[in-house]
Chain A
Amino acid sequence: MGYKLGYKGFVLVDLHSREIFISRHVTFHDHILPYVSQNAKQWEYFPSKPSPASDVPSSPPPFIDPPSIITSSDQPSTDILVPLRSSKSRHPPPHLKDYVCHISNQSSPASSDSVSYPITDSLSYNKLSNSHLHFVLSLQTHTEPKSYAEASKFECWNKAMKTELTALEQTGTWKLFDLPPNIKPIGCRWVYKIKHHADGSIERFKARLVAKGYTQIEGLDYFDTYSPVAKLTTVRLVIALTSIHHWFIHQLDVNNVFLHGELQEDVHMQLPPGIKASKPNQVCKLMKYLYGLKQASRKWYERLTALLLAQGYKHANSDHSLFTKSSSDTFTLLLVYVDDIILAGNSMSEFTTIKSILHVSFKIKDLGQLKYFLGLEVTHSQQGISLCQRKYCLDLLNDSGLTYSKPVSTPSDPSVKLHHDSSSPYEDISSYRRLIGRLLYLNTTRHDITFITQQLSQLLTKPTHVLLL
């Protein structure tokens, strides 16, 4: 490893005992590079049943490489182990030949010659198994349109919106009426989402119509609301216990979770973009629940609770979104985060039973082993389970234009105490607040920024330029 001051000898590391010691009797083996094999495949994602995920997919999903990391996406078919390669040939300096080097450095256009601090210095995909690599990369390759104007330019999104409108009309979600006087209709908008298969390939483009529930007035448009939202501490505890007890952990997705059941209140909504009104001043009167309505999730929670209690599940007192069922040797728990469900436990047969029961009532989709939940990426290995927000964090860096900034080693400067002072105020308060909101969500897995986030959020009302340094 090198020399130490004041000693005659080399500093060595014992690879088996992981001890560092000093010796003068050293033989050099220039061709043996122990870390090549150790790093390569440590983080195997193992599926619970033998599935094609363990082999290389015959046609790798056509992913574009992460935009901020690598721009060339040449993927030679022979080179399966490391798909991130440039078609350009580069010649390394001969003196570096004996070192194990980070492979995506060479393929990145942002390597040392153009940018001083490439993101590849802090990011590497080498330790992941191939199938999991496909999965994590596909998470960040496609961006979804933000508005109707943006989406209507693409054929795939137009088709998706048409499908959704047809489905809504078939279920009789609304009737068209003339707008009654003295009533202000609530707005609505489209939300676009790309759905992925477990191996990372695109399953479908999905467009969903949501009502702007935040314009609803209490007592008029809605009465009671409730959303079953699992506490993030509960999610972490469940994953920790899964790791310790070697439980199975699966994820379910409920299709059109809110569209069941009749709406009791009178709610008028503007016509969705994409529908042409036959005469002006026409609105939809909602007959069924729609995404975004304040009362929608309460109704769903009521129905789910009734169903689970009938199946012998017990409602936990400490977290209302947690349901448990135990017998002499089996234990199953169900954690609900609005329409995402985590199922964990030691009995596969109970999993099958409850999945089929839920499917009969709600049309669920079985997503298999838990991998991506609320933006948390879950990676399973022999040693344990890791939880990170890689995509969320990279997006945050990208949106704030700091992907190529110079990194610092601690989140906050100990010599600076943040407080309200008279330095020049920062004008764009809402962007500051948005940033703090994103940092707060990042706190789900990053406790190292908890303190600084707390400090920064003390200054939400009056941010100053000092904070942005």
Chain B
Amino acid sequence: MRVLRYLKNSPCKGLFFPRNSELQLLGFSDADWAGCLDTRRSIYGQCFFLGKSLISWRTKKQLTVSRSFSEAEFRALAATTCELQWLLYLLLDLQLTTAKLPVIYFDNQSALHIAANPVFHERTKHLEIDCHLVRDKLQAGMMKLLPVTFHEQTADFFTKALLPLPFHILLSKLGMVDIYHPPTCRGILHHEDKQENDDNLRSKLPD
């Protein structure tokens, strides 16, 4: 199975929570329109960082069929808003009220306009509940929405299979480390040699 062979590549990869991280929630939201070939429902992905540490992520198939790309994106945005609300409640319970204003990034211009503009058109009528949800939270100052370019869209990672290059670029952004990863130079070397080199190094390098 391919995913297992991928895991073989780095079985000890894990999350890393750096100490020098800010207290700000950053969310990313993305959708793959009609991504499921069997039902033509969309798949959405979201992830949340606390400063630099990734704490929450999700890939999910939407419950209803979306007729347009913006609609799929907007439903994803509404789901992300709900998750953000929960995270904020959690932070409140942990007495962290000093955190900066959370930001949700997403890459769809028209969904941004739907969120900002209180007009319903024929094609957004059925989105009304989601619209109200996002707008209310925006106006209450719970979060702010910012556009992000396609290349910086981290949530892309959770909505589609990527080619190796973009996959690894995004993976490095998501703050994963492998503390068990061997040094890149492979080969055979006797242990004594290593010790010797180590000693050499210590004697030659100034402290």
Using a CB–CB distance below 8 Å, which chain A residues touch chain B? Answer: 29, 31-37, 39-40, 43, 79, 82, 85, 89-93, 96-97, 99-106, 111, 117, 119-128, 233-234, 236-244, 246, 314, 316-319, 322, 324, 326, 331, 333, 377, 379, 382-390, 393-394, 396-397, 400, 402-403, 405-414, 416-417, 419-420, 435, 439, 442, 445-456, 458, 467-469
Q: How near does chain B come to A419, taking the closest CB pair, in angstroms?
A: 4
Bound form: Cα–Cα A104–B159 in Å: 38
Does B122 reach chain A (CB closer than 8 Å)? no
Bound form: Cα–Cα A386–B32 in Å: 31
Q: How near does chain A come to B97, taking the closest CB pair, in angstroms?
A: 12
Bound form: Cα–Cα A372–B197 in Å: 35
Task: Contact check, B51 vs A244: say whether CB atoms are below 8 A apart.
Answer: yes
Q: How near does chain B come to A437, taking the closest CB pair, in angstroms?
A: 14
Known: A97-B189, A412-B161. 18 other contacts (CB 8 A): A32-B200, A96-B187, A101-B188, A102-B187, A103-B189, A240-B17, A240-B51, A243-B18, A244-B19, A244-B50, A244-B51, A314-B93, A390-B180, A409-B164, A410-B163, A413-B2, A449-B3, A451-B157
- Digit string of B136-171 for contact with A (CB within 8 Å is 1, else 0)? 000000000000000000000111111110011001
Q: Which residues of A contact B91 (CB under 8 A)?
A: 237
Task: Contact check, A409 vs B6: say whether CB atoms are below 8 A apart.
Answer: yes
**Contact A105-B162, Cβ < 8 Å, known A124-B181, A390-B14, A410-B6:** no
**Contact A105-B187, Cβ < 8 Å, known A123-B180, A397-B8:** yes
Q: Which residues of B contact A102 (CB under 8 A)?
A: 182-183, 185-187
Bound form: Cα–Cα A388–B180 in Å: 10
**Contact A90-B3, Cβ < 8 Å, known A101-B183, A121-B182:** no
Contact of A92 among B58, B177, B188 (CB under 8 A): B188
Q: Which residues of B contact A322 (CB under 8 A)?
A: 90, 93
Task: Contact check, B6 vs A449: say whether CB atoms are below 8 A apart.
Answer: yes
**Contact A394-B160, Cβ < 8 Å, known A106-B189, A411-B3, A447-B174:** no
Task: Contact check, A119 vs B37: say whether CB atoms are below 8 A apart.
Answer: no
Q: How near does chain B come to A149, taking the closest CB pair, in angstroms?
A: 30
Q: Which residues of B contact A455 (CB under 8 A)?
A: 161
Task: Contact check, A117 vs B188: say whether CB atoms are below 8 A apart.
Answer: no
Q: Which residues of B contact A331 (CB under 8 A)?
A: 95
Task: Contact check, B183 vs A35: say whether CB atoms are below 8 A apart.
Answer: yes
Task: Contact check, A411 vs B6: say whether CB atoms are below 8 A apart.
Answer: yes
Task: Contact check, A397 vs B11: say whether CB atoms are below 8 A apart.
Answer: yes
Top 9 closest A-B pairs, CB basis? Answer: A388-B14, A124-B182, A101-B189, A316-B93, A419-B37, A407-B9, A412-B161, A384-B18, A318-B89
Task: Contact check, A237 vs B7: say whether CB atoms are below 8 A apart.
Answer: no
- 16 A-B residue pairs with Cβ-Cβ distance under 8 Å, sorted by A, are A93-B188, A99-B187, A123-B180, A125-B180, A233-B55, A236-B53, A240-B53, A322-B93, A324-B95, A331-B95, A382-B19, A385-B17, A390-B12, A396-B7, A403-B8, A419-B37
Bound form: Cα–Cα A105–B182 in Å: 10
Task: Contact check, A240 vs B21: say whether CB atoms are below 8 A apart.
Answer: yes
Q: Which residues of B contact A394 (CB under 8 A)?
A: 11
Bound form: Cα–Cα A97–B159 in Å: 46
Q: Which residues of B contact A239 (CB under 8 A)?
A: 17
Does B69 reach chain A (CB closer than 8 Å)? no
Q: How near does chain A come to B181, taking the closest CB pair, in angstroms?
A: 6
Q: Is the interface of B mostly helix, strand, loop or mixed?
A: mixed
Task: Contact check, A333 vs B94: say whether CB atoms are below 8 A apart.
Answer: yes
Contact of B17 among A120, A384, A406, A451 (CB under 8 A): A384
Q: Which residues of B contact A120 (CB under 8 A)?
A: 182
Q: Which residues of B contact A123 (CB under 8 A)?
A: 11-12, 180-182
Within 8 A of A (CB), among B51-90: 51, 53-61, 86-87, 89-90
Task: Contact check, B7 vs A449: say whether CB atoms are below 8 A apart.
Answer: yes
Task: Contact check, A32 vs B187: say whether CB atoms are below 8 A apart.
Answer: no
The winner among A123, A377, A396, A397 for most chain B CB atoms within 10 A is: A123
Q: How near does chain A come to B185, taking the closest CB pair, in angstroms?
A: 5
Task: Contact check, A36 vs B194: say whether CB atoms are below 8 A apart.
Answer: yes
Q: Which residues of A contact B104 (CB under 8 A)?
A: none
Q: How near does chain B come to A133, taking the closest CB pair, in angstroms?
A: 10
Task: Contact check, A119 vs B2: say whether CB atoms are below 8 A apart.
Answer: no
Contact of B19 among A246, A326, A397, A442 (CB under 8 A): A246
Bound form: Cα–Cα A409–B15 in Å: 18
Task: Contact check, B182 vs A469: say whether CB atoms are below 8 A apart.
Answer: no
Does B119 reach chain A (CB closer than 8 Å)? no
Task: Contact check, A124 vs B183: say whether CB atoms are below 8 A apart.
Answer: yes
**Contact A414-B160, Cβ < 8 Å, known A92-B193, A454-B43:** yes
Bound form: Cα–Cα A229–B36 in Å: 32
Bound form: Cα–Cα A442–B23 in Å: 27
Contact of B177 among A125, A386, A402 (CB under 8 A): A386
Closest residue of B by beta carbon distance from A414: B161
Contact of A409 among B9, B20, B47, B50 (CB under 8 A): B9
Does B123 reach chain A (CB closer than 8 Å)? no
Q: How near does chain B come to A65, taking the closest CB pair, in angstroms?
A: 15
Bound form: Cα–Cα A383–B16 in Å: 9
**Contact A100-B61, Cβ < 8 Å, known A318-B93, A393-B7, A396-B7:** no
Does B113 reach chain A (CB closer than 8 Å)? no
Q: How near does chain B come to A317, taking the closest CB pair, in angstroms?
A: 7
Bound form: Cα–Cα A29–B203 in Å: 14
Task: Contact check, A410 vs B202: say whether CB atoms are below 8 A apart.
Answer: no
The winner among B10, B58, B96 for most chain A CB atoms within 10 A is: B10
